[in-house]
Structure 1
Amino acid sequence: MKRIALPLLIACVMSAQAQTIPVPPPASVPDVVRLDYDLKPRQIAADTWVIEGEVADFSRANGCNIINTAFIATGAGVLVINTGPSRLYGEQQRRAIERVTKEPVLRVLQLNLHPDYFFGNQAWTDRPTLALAGSIAGMKAEGGAYADNLYRLCGDWMKGSESTPSQQAIDPKTLPRTEQLGSHRLEMWRLHGHTGDDLVLLDHTTGVLFTGGLVFAERVPTTPHADFAAWQASLGALEQKIASGAVRAVVPSHGRVHEGPAGLRQTRDWLQWLTTTMQSAAERGLDLGEVLRTPVPERFARWAAQPAEFHRSLTQWYPHFEQKVLAGPAK
């Protein structure tokens, strides 16, 4: 493994530590007895609201609500982004939107294939639900397993929930594209790395960037469908977009809304550390049990879902690093 000059290493660590995310007051207090998510839309820009999930791991206490959903009242109708982890969430999300705006919902957008992005779709079957074609294929292939896992983790919050994939496929060949919806100029493009198909939305009218699962803020990234090299490349593309001045606020699907590249750089730092750690351990011949005891650097230690997500990533991906080392040329 290449040695890194100490001054450069210190600079990288200090830079990563400096990327902090402001934490607003808790947006909701779920009621486990009444099965009430207590969804509270928070306006972050003109015509734009986010319903913030808990920055945590799935649990019955939070109703498995760990995702940020959002909606834009464009003047011509509402665009909904993500529908949460359950039928119940989708129903309560719909009522929360109706309390804020009387505009009709025109379409519902899912940013990737993970269950908390689309399991609320049962509440939106009378509206067009859209996602990238690859995401819909993944929803259909993995929906049953998702349901089993969420019922186990969330219990009664999942009553009546069924996997309901998006209805309409967005052809990646048509992206990137920009369209005028009411008073808002919206740009969509396809990236990948967190999953095989990561849909990103930028509202040029307000400067709000919806990054989906490509960016995590103060939360350990999930990696079940990761392509680490592609993910880093996608983060580079997002950073260029932010540096262009077109972005005023970043909405990750997991973590707090923030300005600038802080969440992006946190995600990049984690992925680099994770993959370097696994590569180094594989080259040293460590077994998985030994790697699972690896201490997490202080800058990551207080992030949400730690150490559970770290251990999940190691369990899934470390054998791949071992195989690559074993298949490599003899040294």
Structure 2
Amino acid sequence: MYHLPIPRFVAACRQSILSLLLLPMAVLATAEPVPIDIEMSLKRVSEHVYYAQGMPGMATDNKGFISNAAAILTDQGVIVVDALGSPSLGQRFLEEIRGLTDQPIKAVIVTHYHADHIYGLQVFEDLGAEIIAPGGFQDYLDAPTAEERLEERRFSLSPWVNEDTRLVRPDRVIVEQTELRLGDVTLEIRYLGPAHSDGDLAVLVRPDQVLISGDLIFEGRIPFTGSADTRRWLEALERLDNAGLQALIPGHGPAAREPAAAVSSTLDYLRYTREVMSDAVDQMTPFAEAYEAADWSRFEKLPAFAATHRRNAYGIYLSLEQEMLGD
């Protein structure tokens, strides 16, 4: 029987032990998402652009499928925009793309880092896709709330968000207008800075003239403002050039064939709510009194009004107080 020299034997043992220790991490990194039984189909918007439309609702409604994601198909590969709210949804989205093309997924553009758009990223990262995100993503990922939110979703969206779900950092960060070309498609990636989130992007697909807006636009429902800087959000919408657009895919809600109307709807909501809360802050009226006295009838029939609007108004009230103090 052949025996290894002692130094080589020890080295081999160490290597074997190291391999065993590392095995669970490798398994974790490549764990298959838990299958999810959800109704999802890709709707065609233009020659190259398709999207999956989430249902209206709060973050954990409809098994977390409440946001949109888009796929841009070319003869040289696919670019995805946003990745949905769980690895299981990301995998389901990928399966729908595979029903249309077997071209490789080249990149995922993340319009902003919020949980309902990023937990599916690991599915595409594991395929080798480049992850592209706006500057400001780190304000979300590096804050304790990112891990806290993930822990909460491991409970509220179990088993589709679980211990195998990880936060994915981008490979490329966009901080200015950038063009990305693939096949016969050019993407104009517009960096909008902090608005709805700590950093937002919109993507114009040419020659289709389809704008993918992320959560700058909520179509057919009440926006979620959360901790958004609504002043900058308004400014971003007012600067948004929608001339010549054929369609707009929002972060939530159906694609709009009249993009100007979709932009106007979100603008109207933000402007009016800020005006009402601004008057209250100027007059030093308590929030509850100002909220009850306001006429919200123009919005109250929209989906998510009951669940979202009062909280939006309160957040805007607090932010206006900070603006008044120059904070």
What TM-score, normalized to structure 1? 0.80
Identity of aligned residues (%): 24
Structure 1 gaps of 5+ residues are 1-33
Corresponding residue SS for 2:79: strand
Say whether the 8 Å CA contact 2:105–2:124 is kept in structure 1: no
Contact 1:190/1:198, CA 8 A, preserved across alignment: yes
Question: How many corresponding residue pairs?
Answer: 287
Which range moved further: 277-286 or 103-112? 277-286
1:198 pairs with 2:200: yes
Equivalent residue number for residue 135 of structure 1:
137
- C-alpha distance in structure 2 between counterparts of 1:319 and 1:48, whole Å: 39
How far the C-alpha of 1:324 sits from its partner, in A, is 5.7
Matched, 1:95 2:98: no
1:268 correspondence with 2:271: no
After superposition, residues 175-324 of structure 1 pair within 5 angstroms as: 175-192=176-193, 193-238=195-240, 241-243=241-243, 245=244, 247-259=245-257, 260-322=259-321
Say if 2:109 is the partner of 1:109.
yes
Is the Cα–Cα contact under 8 Å of residues 56 and 303 in structure 2 kept in the other structure? yes
Equivalent position SS for 1:293 = helix
Bigger CA drift: 269-278 or 296-305?
Answer: 296-305
- Answer whether contact 2:49 2:71 (CA < 8 A) is retained: yes
Are the equivalent residues in 2 in contact too, given 1:66–1:254 (CA < 8 A)?
yes
Aligned to 1:242, the other structure's residue is in SS state coil
CA contact (8 A) 1:82 1:117 kept: yes
2:230–2:316 Cα contact (<8 Å) kept: no
Find the aligned partners of 1:298 and 1:314 in 2 and give their Cα distance. Answer: 14
Note the C-alpha offset of 1:232: 1.5
Q: Which has the larger radius of gyration?
A: 2
Match of 1:43 in 2: 44
Q: Is the 8 A contact 1:136 1:165 kept in 2?
A: no
TM-score norm. by structure 2 comes to 0.81
CA RMSD of aligned residues (A): 2.2
Q: 1:97: how far off?
A: 1.1
**Structure 2 unpaired stretches of 5+:** 1-34
User: Which stretch of the first structure deviates more once superposed, 282-291 or 269-278?
Assistant: 282-291
Counterpart AA for 2:184: S
| 1:53 match: secondary structure | coil
Given candidates 150, 158, 164, the residue that maps to 1:147 is: 150
One-letter identity of the residue aligned with 2:296: P
Question: 2:118 — aligned with what?
Answer: 118
What SS is found at the alignment partner of 1:113? coil
